[in-house]
Amino acid sequence: MAENIESLIEKRKAIVGKFKEELIRRLNLPYEPQDLHEDVSLLGAGLGLDSLDALEIVLCIENCFGIKVPDQNTSILRSINTIVDFVLQEQGKKAD
């Protein structure tokens, strides 16, 4: 059981790291991955990203993780954590 939890934690960390690096690269953000807190709001007051950036984030998720983001599911774009939760959930569906 502990091994399974450790495996999930490592998987989550890997997804967070990959997503942060891609987000910074694709949007040319002036940050290092360790500077981006997982709970910061991506759109609006947090990082100040706009709707065009949101489109790029969706493309990033789809290209990096091979997951289709439904048009109506914009709530996942709130933060890095909500995106990672979505990716893990969708990867879990594929594994079943």
Domain containing 32: what range? 2-95
Predicted pLDDT of residue 1: 55
Q: For residue range 41-57, what is the model confidence (pLDDT) as tens digits?
A: 999 888 999 999 999 99
Question: pLDDT under 50 in the chain at which residues?
Answer: none
13 CB-contact burial (10 Å; exposed 0-12 / middle 13-18 / buried 19+) = exposed
CATH of the domain at 52: 1.10.1200.10
Structural domain tally of the chain?
A: 1
Cβ-proximal residues to 8 (8 Å cutoff; 6+ apart), any chain: 88
- pTM for the predicted model, two decimal places: 0.90
Q: For residue range 60-70, what is the model confidence (pLDDT) as tens digits?
A: 999 999 999 99
